[in-house]
Structure 1
């Protein structure tokens, strides 16, 4: 599991970066004199380029040395974060976020696919859970720390902390991560079959709608809490969300290995995630209990990815990295669209409760597709 932990540390940097920006929106807004909805597009552009780069580069670089690709992508990601910290204008900041998203989109699916090669098939679920758990650890530890540093000093110092973490990740992988065999690039017709596989299409569509709901809502957590709870203090809510994500992403691997029914787990996760979102406005004023929906939301949102990837790997055993890249891409495409829709809703002054409604509607689509996928011919 040592090699899996190395990949998990790289994912920690990605999770820190992807989710801390939502907490830095007020500071970035003040620096560049932009509205919250405008600054929210920094999240959208990161996730959009993440979504675009994952399938494109997984095809372009198929068959190339995976260790070199992992190192190169983490280096690109780290350099982009340094540009974000130094950005003299908002336009350059957006450009740097696009570059960072490209590096992250290349690293993440390769790391997830590679982690399954370091363990036996019986431990694949745990390896996937641990790798994705690194990303959630970046949320539970990195995001509150980043926001605390931003509040004490400046949001740019948080980005420099990210740069330092990225440098450490590059050095650790360069020194300790072994070279391992690359998978020969699949033939073009095999790739087309994957994209035309109805089972794959339905699975990634479920990921898409769940991501629109979960990650899109997360982007505007700051204005949501300010309007609904009269509080701009994100820290405890982010701790609850991030800690839930850590628990969910790690435990789901053991559940997959123990029960061996990823589709059933996904169904339970989707229903529970929807319920947690519904409970946010209902419980927001209850002492202590107001944090529970955020914990469950984080746990279910993060737990959803491992069984989905496990399902895709079973559908496409010869195209594993491409299938995981596609799911990762769609996950962040959903995040980008969710963040963009949320920004539009806020700019039209529709109220943050609209974000809750959008999330519930999106989750309803995901649940309907999941029931369809549970038909016998799509079973796993």
Structure 2
């Protein structure tokens, strides 16, 4: 049993945690149509769950993370995982849109803090030279959720009903909780500090600028990602099997994206993000023009998937380095910034996609993210300038 308490098993549990969180958050994208049909509501209404989930996630995470900032990490992560299981259990038995919405609120309330605590564990247990790759590994759990969770969840929903998809998440989450009990160290407690001391992190100029980058990154991509299944089925006319396969391939690109992200984090990767976002802008603009050539459309979707998470590890390390050097009492809050503002970006991007979908149709959804990508370039350039000035 003692062999389970080594770094490899601890990392596995943290990655499995992020996988369960990503599975629960992203699966709505794959089962959007099925929920709308069974609950007799519109696809846009169900799509709004993506927006509200992300918004609640982003708003609740800093509050809860700050409140738990000096508590034992093991007790915090296991307690919140129990709440996460309850939220998904309610989704699994929901027979109305209202109950489903409530269940998603409960799940969203704890998801962001669970990510933050997993990142904080990584910061404490990983040797300094391995930290960028471990951070990328934790984020890869979300990508693996795209590879396996969303396509498998979509297939289960089509074959057996969307309730069974949430039962699958409940079982996975229980297994994860059991492994937490077995594997995670129980003696890690962040330094004690008052609320004002923890929030001092948010007065740092580089933090205030850098927090916008994960938001704008996902705001640029989520108009497309939120309505990816309707685009594939209604606009590009793929069969249910074809949609599942493309979602699987999209997930593969997300894993590639995270691996690239880990490499970039080891080589000051924020400096390389501006040209990457220029490429994203070009892809988003030409995507609506590719609908007559399905292969080109799919290739563009997969290339956008590669861009989706490349900023995650460099920006997470950016926050953690600042906290370690100047605000050590704010490590948990620093660990949460990426997930907080990523979900603001998800909320903004999915809301933008919903509005454009209603007003102009599916063909205009992808290009609605272009403005956010342009703003992301501006943020990257400001960060690079601030880094140069402070050196």
| TM-score, reference length from structure 2 | 0.90
Shift of 1:160: 0.6
- Indicate conservation of the 8 Å contact 2:236/2:294, yes or no: no
Q: 1:135 aligns with which of 134, 137, 142?
A: 142
Summarize the Cα distance change of 1:309–1:269 in structure 2 as closer, same or farther, 3 Å threshold: farther
Distance, in Å, in 2 between the alignment partners of 1:342 and 1:232 is: 23
Matched, 1:194 2:201: yes
Deviations 1:259-301 (A, max 9, x none): 2x13224334433433443343344444644322222222221
Q: 2:225 aligns with which of 207, 218, 222?
A: 218
Shift of 1:358: 1.7
Specify the alignment match of 2:259 in structure 1. 250
- RMSD, aligned CA: 2.0
Number of aligned pairs? 377
Matched, 1:34 2:41: yes
Which stretch of the first structure deviates more once superposed, 129-138 or 190-199?
Answer: 190-199
Distance, in Å, in 1 between the alignment partners of 2:22 and 2:232 is: 22
- Indicate conservation of the 8 Å contact 2:11/2:134, yes or no: yes
Deviations 1:128-164 (A, max 9, x none): 0111111111110111111111111111111111111
| TM-score, reference length from structure 1 | 0.93
Q: 2:17 aligns with which of 4, 10, 14?
A: 10
- Indicate conservation of the 8 Å contact 2:23/2:149, yes or no: yes
Distance, in Å, in 2 between the alignment partners of 1:189 and 1:300 is: 36
Summarize the Cα distance change of 1:315–1:160 in structure 2 as closer, same or farther, 3 Å threshold: same
Specify the alignment match of 1:352 in structure 2. 362
Summarize the Cα distance change of 1:281–1:344 in structure 2 as closer, same or farther, 3 Å threshold: closer
Summarize the Cα distance change of 1:121–1:279 in structure 2 as closer, same or farther, 3 Å threshold: farther
Q: 2:380 aligns with which of 370, 373, 377?
A: 370
Matched, 1:338 2:345: no
Which stretch of the first structure deviates more once superposed, 99-108 or 217-226?
Answer: 217-226
Distance, in Å, in 1 between the alignment partners of 2:233 and 2:371 is: 23
Specify the alignment match of 1:295 in structure 2. 302
Specify the alignment match of 2:95 in structure 1. 88
Specify the alignment match of 1:320 in structure 2. 331
Matched, 1:72 2:82: no
- Indicate conservation of the 8 Å contact 1:262/1:311, yes or no: no
Specify the alignment match of 2:244 in structure 1. 235
Distance, in Å, in 1 between the alignment partners of 2:104 and 2:78 is: 19
Task: Give SS of 2:230's match.
Answer: helix
Shift of 1:187: 4.2
5 Å-filtered alignment, 1:265-280, equals: 265-280=272-287
Which stretch of the first structure deviates more once superposed, 164-173 or 236-245?
Answer: 236-245
- Indicate conservation of the 8 Å contact 1:228/1:281, yes or no: no
Distance, in Å, in 2 between the alignment partners of 1:280 and 1:114 is: 40
- Indicate conservation of the 8 Å contact 1:81/1:162, yes or no: yes
Distance, in Å, in 2 between the alignment partners of 1:56 and 1:77 is: 17
